[in-house]
Structure 1
Amino acid sequence: MAKRLLLVEDEPGLVMTLSDLLTAEGYEVRTAADGQTALDLASQNDFSLIILDVMLPIKNGFDVCRDLRQQCLRTPVLMLTARGQVVDKVLGLKLGADDYLTKPFEPLELLARVEALLRRVPADQAGSTTRFKFGPVTVDFRTTQVRCHGGLIELSAREYQLLCYFIRNIGTTLSREQLLREVWGYEAEIQTRTVDVHVALLRQKLETDSRNPEHFLTVRGLGYRFVDHAE
């Protein structure tokens, strides 16, 4: 089955050229000419990879990439831009892009980057970038529904955002200050037990035994770490 790519570019000539190139290589290509349309398509469909221009109408590529990652969509993103500054490349990568290609580029280089990114995607994730499973829990990023043992689990908006941030940073030890800053938008200086309370709620709702968690682990003196399996 052909892998589906989303090409997000507002230059008609380049869209035609890249679409023809990728189709000739056996890919199924859908296109979007602005950032909001791209975000809607990516949120509602499974794509193997997104080729994303930075300079787009309505919503720029940086914002699209950030919003995709905030929704926990893990589809690989290759960013295209005429802006070659290092700071732009760093920003794109920090926002969740997987690779960066500066215009003008050779068609063969684009194909090589696409193939390399697709090789990075584990076989068990192919075609399922809108879902994540751990233990008895399934998270559907498209519908924002969370199920445990098949039953629908009610999470508050903040609990869901915290869960998504843990998933995006699986295996990484996260300090309370980092979680406050990235999930709540609080400054690190603010002292609060908000993080502890919300982690406890996630454990109660998603762990088999909240007193002996297998996934939402406490790292003493440092913070928390989310893992797929018990350590």
Structure 2
Amino acid sequence: MKKKILYVEDDNTLAFLTADNLEQEYEVAHYDNGKAAFEAFKQEDFDLCILDVMLPIMDGFELAAAIRERDVEVPIIFLSAKTLKEDRIKGLRLGADDYLVKPYSMEELILKIEVFLQRSQKKSAIKKSTYTIADFVFDTVNYTILRNGETTKLTERESALLQLFIEHKNTVLKREVILTSIWGTDDYFMGRSMDVFISRLRKIFKDDDRIKIENIPRVGFKLVAPE
């Protein structure tokens, strides 16, 4: 069965060319505005979302945020003519998996799609697993941290990052290793996104002196926690 892709693009010519290429391998549902796309997302199951940023009615950033409220796992790829660094960072902070700048090559887009679909398949095959660090219980399947009866919800990327830290607890992890493991690439923009997620994790553990995510200058990070 073909994987199903939600594709949102208001440029009809570009949409036709891209969808025509993608439909050789995938089932593609194309919409030309964010509102209609989100209505479809609420009614159907999609394996991956490809979103333009500048969309009518509901723009791509708003659409991505709405999708993430309902589904923290589905991969999201932004395609945009907006080249500013701030736009890329905003997209990644919203939970997007990648941000391609127009004009893009179909070969690169299809490669990205395959990488994220394969990653999703691997994650879905993982059995339920929990980790305990000090007084915190981390559920890797439901992306939650439980402490003293209070639950904190994580994003998929935050959950993957925390799991990597826990599996290498009290060991220095190089920045490039973290970026390649979680983001699939080691570049400046992904590094900025990683720093945001690490700050978020630090806030969750800030009341417990036994747990720290230490910054190792010019090297990486280390999760310090009880054995």
TM-score per shorter chain, which class?
A: 0.5 to 0.7
User: C-alpha displacement at 1:30, in angstroms?
Assistant: 0.5
What is residue 47 of structure 1 aligned with on the other side? 46
1:95 aligns with 2:87: no
1:106 aligns with 2:94: no
Read off the aligned partner of 1:220 and give its amino acid letter.
D
Instruction: Write out the 4+ residue segments of structure 1 that deviate beyond 6 Å after TM superposition.
Output: 132-135, 172-177
In the alignment, the residues of structure 2 paired with residue 167 and residue 105 of structure 1 have an alpha-carbon distance, to the nearest angstrom, of 26
User: C-alpha displacement at 1:175, in angstroms?
Assistant: 7.3
Q: Aligned to 1:122, what secondary structure does the other structure show? A: helix
Q: Which has the higher helix share?
A: 2
What is residue 8 of structure 2 aligned with on the other side? 8
What is residue 220 of structure 1 aligned with on the other side? 208
In the alignment, the residues of structure 2 paired with residue 55 and residue 222 of structure 1 have an alpha-carbon distance, to the nearest angstrom, of 45
C-alpha contact 1:52 1:61 (8 A) present in aligned 2: yes
Closer, same or farther: CA 168–113 of 1 in aligned 2, 3 Å: closer
What is residue 67 of structure 1 aligned with on the other side? 66
Read off the aligned partner of 1:20 and give its amino acid letter.
D
C-alpha contact 1:174 1:222 (8 A) present in aligned 2: no
Closer, same or farther: CA 168–19 of 1 in aligned 2, 3 Å: same
In the alignment, the residues of structure 1 paired with residue 48 and residue 208 of structure 2 have an alpha-carbon distance, to the nearest angstrom, of 38
Q: Aligned to 1:105, what secondary structure does the other structure show? A: coil
State, as a whole percentage, how many aligned pairs show the same letter: 35
What is residue 26 of structure 2 aligned with on the other side? 27
1:164-207 C-alpha deviation (Å, 9 max, x unpaired): 4477643489979957xxxxxxxxxxxxxxxxxxxxxxxxxxxx
Read off the aligned partner of 2:106 and give its amino acid letter.
P
Closer, same or farther: CA 165–70 of 1 in aligned 2, 3 Å: farther
In the alignment, the residues of structure 2 paired with residue 71 and residue 174 of structure 1 have an alpha-carbon distance, to the nearest angstrom, of 24
C-alpha contact 1:5 1:50 (8 A) present in aligned 2: yes
Closer, same or farther: CA 62–19 of 1 in aligned 2, 3 Å: same
Structure 2 stretches lacking a partner, 5+ long: 131-138, 143-149, 166-197, 212-226
Q: Aligned to 2:117, what secondary structure does the other structure show? A: helix
C-alpha contact 2:73 2:156 (8 A) present in aligned 1: no
1:100-143 C-alpha deviation (Å, 9 max, x unpaired): 111111221211221122222133528xxxxx9778x9x99xxx
TM-score, with structure 1 as normaliser: 0.58
What is residue 134 of structure 2 aligned with on the other side? none
Q: Aligned to 1:10, what secondary structure does the other structure show? A: coil
1:145-172 C-alpha deviation (Å, 9 max, x unpaired): xxxxxxxxxxxxxx9xx66447764348
- Root mean square deviation of aligned Cα: 3.8
Read off the aligned partner of 2:23 and give its amino acid letter.
T
Closer, same or farther: CA 31–163 of 1 in aligned 2, 3 Å: farther
1:4-35 C-alpha deviation (Å, 9 max, x unpaired): 011011111111111110012x2001011111
What is residue 196 of structure 1 aligned with on the other side? none
Closer, same or farther: CA 72–134 of 1 in aligned 2, 3 Å: farther
Structure 1 stretches lacking a partner, 5+ long: 127-131, 141-158, 180-216, 224-230
What are the within-5 Å matches in structure 2 for residues 42-191 of structure 1?
42-123=41-122, 125=124, 164-165=153-154, 169-170=158-159, 171=162, 178=203
Read off the aligned partner of 1:62 and give its amino acid letter.
F
1:62-107 C-alpha deviation (Å, 9 max, x unpaired): 1111222233432100101001111111110111000111111122
